[in-house]
Amino acid sequence: MKPRLSLTSIVLLLALVFAGAAHAVKPDEMLADPALEARARALSEGLRCMVCQNQSIDESDADLARDLRILVRQRLVAGDSDQQVMDYVVSRYGEFVLLKPRFDLRNALLWGTPVLLLLVGGMFIALNARSRRKLATKSLSADEQAALDAILRRD
């Protein structure tokens, strides 16, 4: 397997690294400037198609998704930074369009759960192991040792 990749697709790939490869972008929407188009694709991956629940606008065939894709590209052509484009879309459609929820207090529980659980679970296991090791290494009392010796001698 020797993938031959053009510069455009390298940029695209870097942007798509973690994303599923599902796209509904139409040829007539695409920007002529490959760098700008790649940014548009990357941004589209993070925006939710409002009418189809679980697809990004990059994947969706819905008209509304198309409108949003065009809007994103218009803002990019107008010279907005990625952050400006996202802020603009959120100001118009609300935080609902963001597939990656913001890191803020309201979403603390959402983002915090994995870290918290890993720490708590890890600590629990560590403490448990420590108490068990103490239990395991506790040596026999003199009486127990004598009883054991007696049993061993009998055999």
Partner 1 sequence: MVEIGHFALVLAFALSLVQTIVPLFGARLNNQRLMAVGGPVAVTGFALTALSFVALAGAYANSDFSVANVWENSHSLQPLIYKITGTWGNHEGSMLLWVLILTFFGALVAAFGSNLPATLRANVLAVQGTIGAAFFLFILATSNPFIRLNPAPIEGRDLNPVLQDLGLAIHPPLLYLGYVGFSICFSFSVAALIEGRIDASWARWVRPWTLVAWMFLTGGIAMGSYWAYYELGWGGFWFWDPVENASFMPWLAGTALLHSAIVMEKRSALKIWTLLLAILTFSLSLLGTFLVRSGVLTSVHAFATDPTRGVFILCILTLFIGGSLALFALRASRLTAGGLFHPISREGALVLNNLFLTTATATVLVGTLYPLALEALTGDKISVGAPFFDLTFGPLMLPLLVLVPFGPLLAWKRGDVIAASQRLMAAFALALAAMLVTGLFIDGASVFAALGIGLAVWLVTGALTDLAIKSGVGSVAPAVMVRRFAGLPRSVFGTALAHLGLGLTLLGIVATLSFGTEKILTMRAGETVELSGHTLRFVGLYPAQGPNYSEDRGRFDLIGVSGSPVGEISSAKRFYPVRQMTTTESGIKTLGLSQLYISLGDEGKDGSVVVRLWWKPLVALIWGGGLTMMAGAAMSLMDRRLRVGAPSRRRKQAVAPAGLP
Binding site for partner 1 (CB under 8 A): 1-5, 9-10, 13-14, 16-27, 30, 45-46, 48, 53-56, 59, 94-101, 106-107, 109-111, 113-114, 117-118, 121-122, 125, 129, 132-133, 135-136
Structure tokens at 138: 């506790």
| Residue 24 CB, nearest approach to partner 1 (Å) | 7
- Distance (Å, rounded) from C-alpha 81 to C-alpha 36? 11
- Distance (Å, rounded) from C-alpha 96 to C-alpha 89? 10
Q: How many CB atoms lie within 10 A of CB 100?
A: 10
Question: Which is closer to partner 1, CB of 139 or CB of 155?
Answer: 139
Question: Which is closer to partner 1, CB of 101 or CB of 149?
Answer: 101
Give the angle 135-142-127 at the CA atoms, nearest 5°. 10
Question: Which is closer to partner 1, CB of 78 or CB of 129?
Answer: 129
Question: Which is closer to partner 1, CB of 115 or CB of 142?
Answer: 115
**H-helix or E-strand spanning residue 42:** helix 34-45
Positive or negative CA dihedral for 98, 104, 106, 110? positive
